[in-house]
Structure 1
C-alpha cells in the first residue's frame, strides 16, 4: 500500500507526533507481506452470488467463493468494529494510549507498555516504540500488530524510515489480506519503496490461516503494487505439505486485474491424440488488447502452438484464434482418408472474428474459419460438440442501416470438416451477396416495406448462376388492449441468370446419359402475391391455484394465408430446403428455407393459448394448441436427385399436424416443458419432446429430456449435478439414441470444493462421427466410432485454474451447471 500524506510533524504536540510515527512505521511495514492490495469483489468472500435461473441455456461461471472457509478466520487481533473507510485518514484525528511516554530532547520519543494507536481505518499495537522526528526513523518492537481496511500484519520487530518509504520486519512475520483472503508468513520482509517489497523464506496461500491445503514456499518473494503481480524465486507449490511442482521462477497474481504470466498447465487424454499437456502464457499487452500463447504437446502427434489475441479499439474489435502443428507424427489409415496422409503434414486451424465501424451506421463484420484438412476437428477435438461440427462457416459483410432501412454486401462460404462425407456436401458459395430491407410507416396503422436479396452462387460440378429475390409489401397493425388485426399484402418476384452449361446439370450435379435436364431456360423467374390476415383476442380473469392468486389469459388466434400455385420445377436449388414442421410454422408464410421455392397456400391456422401470470407478472404456465387447415393441396415440392418432380405425392391433407405445447414453472425449484406434434392423416407422432429441470439444494440440478423426430432421432438424456455434501458434488450426463441402440455421449465426474481449492476429475465417452476407412473418391457409409477423454482440473482459488476447459464443457453439456 502507498503511504498517505500527513501534516508536518513539527507543528504537532509530542504525544500526537509519536502516535503518527507509530502509524507511519506500520505504513512501511505493511509492505512486508506477500500479497498486498489484492482486490476481489466482496461477493467472493461473503458467499453472495446469483443462482443461475432455471431454463438458462448456458450459465455463467461463478466467481471464487470463500464461504467454505473457517468463519472469523482472521488473525487473532482483528477488530471487526474498526472503520473500513480509508479515505478518512488525511483528516482524521489520531488517538494514542500507552503506559509510559519519554522524550528527553523533543526529537526522540519512547513509548512502552500496551501501546495502541487508532486513526480512521488504522490500528496499531506494540509493546515498545521509538521515533526520531528529525530523520523520520522508527522502531516498533514486541508483538507488533497492525490493521487497516484491507489487511492485517504482525511481527516481532519493525524498523524503517517514513520519508523514504522503507522498512524491515523481522521475527514471526504474518500477514493477511481482508479482501482477497490471501495470507502467509515470512522470516524477513523488506519494503524497497512504496510499491515494491521483498520477502525472504516466505509462504503465500488463500487457505485458512494455519490450515494451508496448498501454499507457495519460496526462498524469495517480491511484489509489485503497480502491476499487482508477485514473483517467487526458488518456489515450490505444496499441497497437504507435499511438494508437487518446482520452478526457479514463478509469477502469480495479487488481484483480479489482467496480468502477464504463465497460467497453470492442463492435462488430458483422448484416443486420437494421446496424452495432452498445455502450458499457457498470458500477455497483458495493453488495457485494450492482450494475447495468450499456449504450447501443447500430444504424445501421439507431436508439438503444437495455439494462441488467442483479443483487441478493442474505438472503431474495431475482434478475436484471432489459431492452432498450428508443423508436423503431424501420427498416421492411421483407419481414420485417415487415403488422399490425405497426415504423417509429416502441417495441421492448422484458425478463426478470425472482427467488427470495424467505418462511419456512423456502417460497419464491416468478418468471420473466417479454416482448417488445414477435413480431418482436423476429428483428430484434435476432445468433445462431442467439436467432433459433430461438419461445416466451418466464413463470411465478410459490409453492413449499414438507418431508422427505416438496413443493407449488407459481402459473401459466404463453407468448408467441409466431416471426414465421412465428400466435399460435395458443402453448400453453394454466395459470392457476392447483397441484401436491402426497409419498413416505412405511414398514416397511423400502415407500413410499406421491402425485403430483397441478390446472390451469385458457385459450386464445382453443379449448376451455377445469379438470383434476385424481391418482396415489396404493405401491412397494417390495428390493435387495442384486448384484440389485434394485422393484414398484409406482399408480392414476391424471383429471377435467375444461369451460367452457360446449365443444361448439363440436374438439381444435384451432372445429369446421366439419357436424362433430361430440368433447367430449360437460362433466365427463369417466378412471381406471385402473398396475402395474410393475422387476428386475435385476449381475455383475462383472476383465479387461484394452490393458495396462490394468478391472472389467467385466454388468447384465441386465427391466421389466414393465401399464395397461388406456381410451377417451380425449372428453378434451381441453390440454398433452399424443406423445413421440419414445428410450432412456429403455424404462422409462417413459407415452409421452405431460402428463396428457390415458395409454397402455395390457401390455409387457415387456428390456435389458442392460455397463460397463468402471478402477481409480479411472471409467466408460471403457458399452454398452446393449434392446427393448420388446408383448403387446397400443397403442390410445391423439393425434387429428388436427377428428377424434376417431387419425391413424394403432393400433399392433399385436410390439416397439418396438431401442435400442443405446455411449459410451467410454478416455483423456483422446478420447471417442465413439452411439445407434441401428431399427424391426423398418418396417425403417427411426428415430434415429441419433454424436458424437466429440478433444482437440488443450492448448487445441484437434475435434468431429464426426451427428444423424438420421426425418421430422424429418438434420444433420452439425463444429467445431474448432485451435492453429496457441502464440499463434494457428483456430475453425470448420459445421452442414449434409441434408433442407433447405443450411447451417444456419457460423462461422469466428481468435484471437490474447499475453502481455497477446487478439484474436478471428469471422464467422457462420446461418438466421434465415423469408424472405418474413408476415401474421398468413393466414400463408404461407415458406422459411428467412439472416443474417450479424461480431464483433470485443479484450481487454487485466487491463483487461477489449470484450465477452464472442463468447466466450459460441463456448462454446455449440463443445463443449469454453474
Structure 2
C-alpha cells in the first residue's frame, strides 16, 4: 500500500518486463492497482532518442525506439486530433455524419455512405450503420474503423452500445494499441467497458503490422488499460513462426508502468563457473517498494538464488542484495597456495545500503558489503572490474550538519577479497570514528574554521591505538572581477594514545628483536603551523581560431605553502600513504593521505591556464602548465627509508629528497565540435629526466549512435596500457562492438571484447564474447613471491529483447556501458 504522505514523484524507477508470467505467479495481480497510481512516460510509436554527450563515462540505457518500424504502423485511419480523454464520454454528445439517412420512426436511423460518428475520444467509420437514439445501440457494417483513446480496431462488422462503451467486432479483426506499438489480429473482439477489451483466437506483437518477427498466439487475450497489462490464456510465443514458449496463462505489459513478471533471461559462460542461466522475476509490490528474485544455475557450481529488495519511504530509502549458493559442486584441480577449496561449501555475497533521515539535519547512512570467502568475486565475477576488486568496504555513519558545520560518528571496515593476498592487507578498522568540521564567516572577507577527527584503529598483529587530529584555521577571500588573493593560516595538532604492547611492533607488524620498534612512547604527538597564500589574475581577449570567434583567457596563478619540518618517525601509520603526484597536487597542502604524516614545505607553485570560450560560453579548449619549486628539501618520510628502500614514489613510500622542483605538469583538453573530444596530461621529472605520467584520451562520434575511443595510460613503474573501444554502426540495424586493453609492461592482453548487435522494429539481439585476466596485478614484476602470471577467463553473453515487452537492460548492457566509454 502506498503511504499517504509519499507523493507519486517518490516512486521507485520502473523495472521492464519480459512479459512472460507463468500460472504459478497468479499473486502478481495483487500489485496491479498500485502500478496505475504512478504513471511513467509512455512508449511512443515513432520513438525519440537523446545522444549521450561526449566524455560521459556511463550513459543511461536508451528507451524503446520504434523508428525502424514502417511509418504506417498506426493503420490508415488514425485521427490525431481526436480527444484522448475517455472520461468525457458520459457528458459528450454523439455527432453523426452520413451521405444518406433514413429514419422510419425518428428513433431508428439507417445510415449509409461514409458513415462517421464521434463522441469524446470515440470515432467510428463504416459503409453502413444502424443507430438507435433511445438505447444508443449501433450496428456498423463494411470497412468498419473504430478509434478510442487507447486503441484502434478495424473489422467487417461491429455492434455495440455507446452509453455502456461496449461492443463486439467480427470478421478480419485488427487492432493496435496507442500507448505502445502492440498490435494483432483476432477472430472476435469485445469491448467490455471503457478500459477493458477481450480478443478471441488472437495474436499480439509489437512488430510491424503484417510482419511479425515474434508474436503471442493465444486462445484469448484480455487487456486492461487501468492496470496497463494484458493477460493471455492458452498462449504460445513464436519467433519467425516457430513456437518456443507455451504457457496456459501469461501476462505482458501494455505500457512502461512497473508490473510484476519475468525479466529477460540471461545466458553466459565463464571458465570458473561454467555455463550460466538466470531469469529474474520482478515483484511490483507497491509504488515505493519492490523486489527481484533471480534463480541462477551454474553448470560447474550448482544452483544459486539471488535477490534484491528496494524501498523508499518518507524518511528511509535503501536496498538489499544477496547471492547465495548453498552447495558449491566445483572441484578445483588447480588450487594454488593462495586459493582455497570451496567444494561443498556455502558461498554468498550480500550488500545493504540504507539512508534514514532521523530529524532535520541528521541522517543515518549504512553501506555493508561482505562475501563468504576471498575467492568469491574471482569465481563468480564475469569481468575485469569485478575480478580486480581487492577490498569490500563497509561503513555505518550518523551524519549531521547545519549552515556552518557538519559532523559524523560511525566506523569503517574492509574485507580482503583478493585470493593472492593474505588478510593482513586489509586496512585498519576505524571504529569508532568521529569528525567535526566548521567554517564560520566573520567580517566581510574572513572565515574561521576547524577540521577535526577522532579515531580508534584496530588490526590483528599490528600496533593499535587512537588518534586525535585537529586543524583550526583562519582564511580570507579577497577578489575582484580579474583577480583573487586568498591567505590562510592553520595550526595542525595530532596526538596518539597507543595500546599496551606498542613496543613490540614496527610499521609492518610484530617483531621479535627488542629495540627495533620506532614507537618510543605511548602518547606521541605532532603540532605545527600551516601557512598558504593563493593568488591569481584573469585576463581576457577576443580571438579567432579555425574560422570561429572565441574569448581567450590567460590565468596566471601563484600558490605559496609553508609548513615547518617535524620528525614523525615515531608516529604509527594507521591510514596514511603517499599519494601519487598529479595536477591537483600543485595546490594541495599535503602529499600524504590521512593524518599520520604532514609534509614539510617551503614551496611556491607557479601555474598558468588558458581557455577558449565560444560565443555561447562553452569551453572548447583549456590548457594548463605548472610546477612546484621547493626552497627547502622534502624531509618527512614514510617507512621506505627505514627498510633501505630507494627514493621512489612508485612503491607508495616517500624518502627524503633535495629536489629543487616537482614534476612539470601539462594538461590540454579540447572539444572543438560535437563530434570529437580529446584530453591529455603529461608529468615530466626534471630531476630524473624521466616521464612520470602520461595520458591521452580521444573520443570520436561515428554517425548517430557509434563511438570510437582510444586511450593511453602511463605511470612510471606501475602501468602502461593502451585501450581501444568502438561501437561501429554497419547500418541502422547492425552494430559491431569491440574493446581491447593491452598492457605494455605485462606484454599481454588484459581484456578483450567483441560482439555484434542487431536492432529491428521490435527485437534486439546482442552476442558478446569477453576475454579477461583473472587476479590481475598490474605488472608481472609485482607478483607476490611464488605466484605465477595470472590466468585468463572467457565469458560469452547472449541477450534477446522483445521491444514493447520491456526494455530491461540485462547483464550484457551493463557490461558494455561500463567497458565502452559513451556506449548507449
3-state SS of 1:256 partner: coil
* Residue deviations 1:11-43 (CA, integer Å, cap 9, x gap): xxxxxxxxxxxxxxxxxxxxxxxxx99998478
Q: Within 1, Cα distance between the matches of 2:577 and 2:149? A: 65
Q: Would you say 1:375 and 2:375 are equivalent positions?
A: yes
Between the aligned partners of 1:381 and 1:523, the Cα distance in structure 2 is 45
Task: Please report how far the alpha carbon of residue 251 of structure 1 lies from its aligned counterpart in structure 2 after TM superposition.
Answer: 1.7
In the TM superposition, what are the counterparts of 1:615-630 in structure 2 within 5 Å? 615-630=615-630
Query: What does 1:354-393 align with in structure 2 at a 5 Å threshold?
Result: 354-393=354-393
Aligned counterparts of 2:364 and 2:493: Cα–Cα separation in 1: 29
Inter-partner Cα distance in structure 2 for 1:686 and 1:515: 38
Structure 2 Cα separation of the partners of residues 574 and 37 of structure 1? 52
The 3-state SS of whatever aligns with 1:468 is: strand
SS in 1 for 2:812: helix
Secondary structure (helix, strand or coil) at the match of 1:49 reads coil
Question: What is residue 30 of structure 2 aligned with on the other side?
Answer: none
State whether structure 2 residue 241 is matched by structure 1 residue 235: no
Matched, 1:529 2:526: no
User: Contact (CA 8 Å) 1:464, 1:499: kept in 2 or not?
Assistant: yes
2:426 is aligned to 426
Q: 2-side partners of 1:57 and 1:116: how far apart?
A: 55
How far does the alpha carbon of each residue in 1:439-475 deviate from its partner, in whole angstroms, 9 at most, with x for none? 0000000000000000000101100000000000000
| Counterparts of 1:359 and 1:254, CA distance in 2 | 41
Spell out, residue by residue over 1:51-93, the C-alpha distance to the aligned partner (whole angstroms, 9 max, x if none): 1111111111111111111123321333456566767766766
Deviation of 1:590 (Å)? 0.2
**Alpha-carbon displacement from aligned partner over 1:189-209 (angstroms, at most 9, x marks no partner):** 234444433322111111111
Task: Tell me if the contact between 1:274 and 1:299 (Cα under 8 Å) persists in the aligned partners.
Answer: yes
On the 8 A contact 1:38/1:179 being kept in 2, the answer is no
Q: Which residue of 1 aligns with 2:446?
A: 446
Q: 3-state DSSP class of the match of 2:378?
A: helix
Provide the residue aligned with 1:585 in structure 2. Answer: 585
Partner of 1:341: 341
Listed as ranges, the matches of 1:405-424 within 5 Å are 405-424=405-424
Q: Is the 8 A contact 2:335 2:341 kept in 1?
A: no
Residue 660 (structure 1) aligns with: 666
- Aligned mates of 1:89, 1:193 — CA distance in 2: 12
Distance 1:339 1:267, change over 3 A: closer
Indicate conservation of the 8 Å contact 1:507/1:642, yes or no.
Answer: no
- Could you tell me the TM-score, scaled by structure 1's length? 0.91
Query: Does 2:712 align with 1:714?
Result: no
Corresponding residue for residue 815 of structure 1: 821
- For residues 546-598 of structure 1, give each alpha carbon's deviation from its aligned partner in whole angstroms, at most 9, with x where no partner exists: 11110000000000000000000000000000000000000000000000000
In structure 2, the residue matched to 1:69 is 69
Secondary structure of the residue aligned to 1:800 is coil
Q: Give the equivalent residue in structure 2 for 1:6.
A: none
State yes or no: 1:766 paired with 2:772. Answer: yes
2:749 pairs with 1:743: yes
**Alpha-carbon distance between aligned partners in 2 of 1:471 and 1:795, rounded to the nearest angstrom:** 57
Matched, 1:724 2:718: no
Q: 1:805 aligns with which of 811, 814, 822?
A: 811
Q: How many angstroms does 1:644 deviate by?
A: 10
Q: Deviations over 1:175-197 (max 9, x none)?
A: 11234121111111234444433
Is the CA contact 2:192–2:198 (under 8 Å) kept in the aligned structure 1? yes
Segment of structure 1 superposing worse, 632-641 or 81-90: 81-90
For residues 566 and 481 of structure 1, the distance between their equivalents in structure 2, rounded to whole angstroms, comes to 40
CA positional deviation for 1:141: 2.5
CA distance in 2, matches of 1:709, 1:339: 30
Q: Does structure 2 conserve the Cα–Cα contact (< 8 Å) formed by 1:219 and 1:235? A: yes
Q: Distance in 1 between matches of 2:70 and 2:515?
A: 81
Counterpart position of 1:548: 548
Instruction: Check the 8 A contact 1:294/1:305 in 2, yes or no.
Output: yes
Paired position in structure 2 for 1:690:
696
CA shift at 1:779, angstroms? Answer: 7.6
Contact 2:214–2:239, Cα closer than 8 Å, also in 1: yes
Structure 1 distance, partners of 2:88, 2:161, is 23
Q: Report the Cα distance in structure 2 between the residues aligned to 1:514 and 1:174, rounded to whole angstroms.
A: 92
Structure 1 residues 39 and 647: alpha-carbon distance in aligned structure 2, compared to 1, 3 A threshold: closer
Deviation at 1:640, TM superposition (A): 3.3
- Residues in 1 aligned to 2:680 and 2:40: alpha-carbon distance in whole angstroms: 42
Equivalent residue number for residue 201 of structure 1: 201
Cα deviation digits, residues 296-322 of structure 1 (max 9, x gap): 111111111111111000000001111
TM-aligned CA deviation for residue 108 of structure 1 = 3.7
CA 1:90–1:235 in 2, change beyond 3 Å: closer, same or farther?
closer
* Counterpart-to-counterpart distance in 2, 1:340 and 1:731: 36
Judged with a 3 Å threshold, the aligned counterparts in structure 2 of structure 1 residues 80 and 802 are, in CA distance, closer, same or farther, namely: closer
In 2, the alpha carbon distance for the partners of 1:790 and 1:535 equals: 56
Q: What CA distance in whole angstroms lies between the structure 1 residues aligned with 2:38 and 2:103?
A: 39
Matches within 5 A, 1:18-29: none
Report how far residue 49 of structure 1 moved: 2.3
Give the corresponding residue for 2:14.
Answer: none
Q: Which residue of 2 aligns with 1:637?
A: 637
Rounded Cα–Cα distance in structure 2 between residues aligned with 1:39 and 1:101: 44
Deviations 1:357-406 (A, max 9, x none): 00000000000001111111111111111111111000000000000000
In structure 2, how many angstroms separate the alpha carbons of the residues matched to 1:295 and 1:645? 52
Q: Which residue of 1 aligns with 2:558?
A: 558
Question: Does the alignment pair 1:703 with 2:701?
Answer: no
Distance 1:398 1:641, change over 3 A: farther
1:484 corresponding residue in structure 2: 484
Residues 336 and 342 of structure 1 are in contact (CA less than 8 Å); yes or no, is this contact kept in structure 2? no
| Distance across 1 between alignment mates of 2:799 and 2:641 | 50
Q: Tell me the matched-pair count.
A: 777
Deviates more, 1:295-304 or 1:645-654: 645-654
Deviation at 1:120, TM superposition (A): 5.2
TM-score (norm 2): 0.91
Q: Deviations over 1:260-297 (max 9, x none)?
A: 11122111111111111111111010110011101111
How far off is 1:240 after superposition?
Answer: 1.9
Shift in Å, 1:44:
4.3
Distance 2:497 2:559 in 1: 35
Q: Is residue 396 of structure 1 aligned with residue 402 of structure 2?
A: no
SS at match of 1:585: helix
1:269 aligned residue? 269
Structure 1 residues without counterparts, runs of 5 or longer: 1-35, 772-777
**Local SS of the residue matching 1:46:** coil
